[in-house]
Structure 1
């Protein structure tokens, strides 16, 4: 999969080590890879979304149980609202 920005919504147990390259990307590329699930990484989310100019932003929603089932959707909706305020075009795609 290719992406310009990746926003990770992890499962019920926060274990970024199970996602190949996640820790490295979260630690070393916070302008492009963020997560809402830890204080350390969540602090970067707003600035990353606010600075998003173009390309693809990918929001994940695990198929496994998660701590707050609405959280991945909430960040998507908040991002969509932010993007619309600055007239960025949004296309939502889901995997079936």
Structure 2
């Protein structure tokens, strides 16, 4: 998954959290930046926390190689769909 798509997913998750959990106003200016400083700071922290998480996929030594590939790709897709990174 490309970086922009991951960032968009992460922003959507952040905004749901900000609205639902904190009742924050998440208005953005014409450049896409959050108007309120505390929301910008929280967004920056959210992004940093996601950048710090890199998931290492397990080994599938007991499975045929074709099955291993499919399993690894399925896991990679599921993890990246949550806007997290997978170790190479």
**Structure 1 length normalisation: TM-score?**
0.29
Structure with a larger share of its residues in strand: 1
Structure with a larger share of its residues in helix: 2
